[in-house]
Amino acid sequence: MRGVAKLNQIIAVEKGVKTKAQQELTSAQHDLAKPALLSGISRTYQAKDEEGEQLPPESTRVQVQAEGVLRSAVAALTRLFDVTATKDWANCEARADVTVDGRVVVAAVPVSYLLFLEKQLTDLHAFVRRLPVLDAAESWTQDPSTDAWKTEPVRTIRTRKVPRNHVKAEATENHPAQVEVYYEDVPVGYWTTVKFSGALPARRVNELLDRVEKLQTAVKFAREEANGTEVTDRRVGEAVLGYVFGG
C-alpha cells in the first residue's frame, strides 16, 4: 500500500494481512522443522576392480532453502508491520467532532476515544432503559419537603366486624328461639393515605433515552468521518526486520 489511503481502507485490509503473515510464519516453522527437506546428498560408486559390481549414483536434492523461507516470512511480516504502523500512526492523527443538532458536544475526538464512547453509550443506554418509572395509574406531584414525588391524599373508611343476631324463629312453648349470628362491617374511623415515590416520570426517562440515542448516532458519524481521514503509508517493517535478518 503506497502513497495516500484512507484509514478505513487500512482497517479493512489489516485482518487479511495479519492472517497471511501468521500463515506464512506457521508454514515456515513447519518446513524448517523437517530436517529431511533441508538435507541433500550426492554419491557415486566405484568398484574395486573392473569385474566388480557396478552401482548407479544416488542423489537427493535439498527441497527447502532456509534463506528462501526467511525471505517469504520477512516479506509477509514486513507487510503486516507496515499496515499496522500506518493504522496506528493514523489513529493518532485522525479526529472528528461529535455533533448533536448542530452543537459540538466534544471537539476533535481521536478514533480510539470514539470507540470507547460507543461502548460506554451502549452500556449507558441499557442503564437508562432500566430506570424506575412512576406508576402511570397515579397522579404525581413533586414534594419539596421529601425531595420525592407524592400523590393527592386519599381517604378510606376503616371498618370493624361487629356480631349481630338474626332471629330466624321466635321461641315457642316447646322450642327455643332460632338465632343466627352474622357480622356487620361498622365504620370506626378513616385512613388518609399519601403515596411517595423516588422513581422518575416516564417523560424524564424518555428524554434521557432520546439524548443517549442522539449521542450514539453522533459518535458513529464522527467515527466514520475520522476513519475517512487520508493517511500516509508508513514503512517500518523493512527497518525492523532488516535489522534482525540483514547481513
How confident is the model over 146-189, as pLDDT tens digits?
A: 999 999 999 999 999 999 888 877 878 777 878 888 889 999 99
Q: How large is the average pLDDT for residues 89-118? A: 94
Q: How large is the average pLDDT for residues 79-101? A: 92
Q: Are residues 98 and 117 in contact, defined by beta-carbon separation less than 8 angstroms? A: yes
Residue 28 CB-density burial (10 A; 0-12 exposed, 13-18 middle, 19+ buried): buried
Mean pLDDT (the chain, rounded): 91
pLDDT at residue 172 in the model: 80
Q: How far is CA 57 from the centre of its chain?
A: 66
Cell of 95: 479526529
Give the β-pairing of 140-143 and 148-151.
antiparallel
Q: Are residues 223 and 114 in contact, defined by beta-carbon separation less than 8 angstroms? A: yes
pLDDT at residue 103 in the model: 96
Of 150, 136, 176, 22, nearest to 84 by C-alpha is 22
pLDDT at residue 4 in the model: 60
pLDDT at residue 162 in the model: 92
CA distance 182 to 163: 6
pLDDT at residue 207 in the model: 97
Percent of the chain scored above 90 by pLDDT? 66
Q: How large is the average pLDDT for residues 122-140? A: 96
pTM higher than 0.85:
no
The confidence band for 225, taking pLDDT boundaries of 50, 70 and 90, is very high
- What one-character DSSP code corresponds to residue 53? P
Domain ranges of the chain: 1-94+233-247, 95-138+203-227, 153-193
